[in-house]
Structure 1
Amino acid sequence: MSAALYTREILRLAVSIPHQSRLDKADGTAEVRSRACGSRVAADILLSDDRKIAKLGIEVNACALGQASAAILATEAVSKSADEIADTRQQLAGFLEGVNDSPGDWANMEHLMAAKEHKGRHAAILLPYDAILAAFKAATSASEAA
């Protein structure tokens, strides 16, 4: 028998996403949508001089798992580089695909473990990471154009 998908902890995380507002001035901004489930995540980032997230704004329209994943990410993202976000996304994606034994070492990642068996939810879980990485890419493009 599989573990419950929408646990009390997933639901708690889903309603506690930090940084839930768009930034007026951002170095990079992006909006991504999942074709699989229709979830949408918009992310704005303001970068420090060392190209790490100094300030984050995120807007999430997703299922409880996507919202919980966004809460985990938004809690950890400030002070992280694009490489750190990409590495964490890769670890989580590898776990969901059955390649890795762990979803990652950030706080609360273990609450996403039950989603491994639900492939239809994987896109929503990874979407917040994709939005922030796309915002990093937009920031890089903007700084190269300047």
Structure 2
Amino acid sequence: MSGETDLIKLYSSRILALAADIPHLERLENPDATVKKRSPLCGSTITVDVRTRDGRVAEFGQDVKACALGQAAAAVVGAAVIGTTRQQIETARDQLAAMLKKDGPAPDAPFDGLEVLKPARDYKNRHASIMLALDATSEAMKQAEQADCA
């Protein structure tokens, strides 16, 4: 199979549909934390705003400037993140990294929709973009918790 055919398969209709319908694209006013992450390899960026309540994501906003794979990951994260804890987000982040790098299983619910990105395992240059949404959200939750403790 040619590289071009593999790349076409990677950008499945499901991935493209997710990329076209990203939830929570409105930035939050007065968030508890804001984190911007950038993939140095491709230049994709995601900025995440969170407001927390009782250690959970109460409100979420994101600005996504990424490839279709990064957009698809942001769509899954955006659809699942409300009500989750920092631990759930960090677990999903670690499971996503293992899925991409070590052929591990898809992340646990509610982030199990990230399974759609399994075909990207063979495209290491895309991994950083796929990880942006969970990396930024995890860091934002950490910052929000630290602000609550200050």
Q: Does 1:94 align with 2:98?
A: yes
Q: TM-score, normalised by structure 1?
A: 0.92
RMSD: 1.4
Matched residue SS, 1:68: helix
Q: TM-score, normalised by structure 2?
A: 0.89
Aligned mates of 2:115, 2:36 — CA distance in 1: 26
Pick one of 16, 20, 28 that aligns with 1:15.
20
Ranges in structure 1 where 5+ consecutive residues have no aligned partner: none
- Greater shift in the superposed pair: 6-15 or 29-38: 29-38
Ranges in structure 2 where 5+ consecutive residues have no aligned partner: none
Distance apart, 1:107 and its partner CA: 4.5
Matched residue SS, 1:108: helix
Aligned mates of 1:38, 1:130 — CA distance in 2: 15
**Residue equivalent to 1:46:** 51
Aligned mates of 1:111, 1:26 — CA distance in 2: 30
Matched residue SS, 2:76: helix
Aligned mates of 1:110, 1:33 — CA distance in 2: 22
- Greater shift in the superposed pair: 3-12 or 121-130: 3-12
Corresponding residue pairs, total: 143
Pick one of 59, 64, 68 that aligns with 1:64.
68
Aligned mates of 2:43, 2:76 — CA distance in 1: 20
Aligned mates of 2:55, 2:43 — CA distance in 1: 31
Aligned mates of 2:118, 2:55 — CA distance in 1: 31
Percent same amino acid among aligned pairs?
39
Aligned mates of 2:129, 2:27 — CA distance in 1: 20
Preserved CA contact (<8 Å) 1:39 1:61: yes
Point out the structure with the larger helix share. Answer: 2
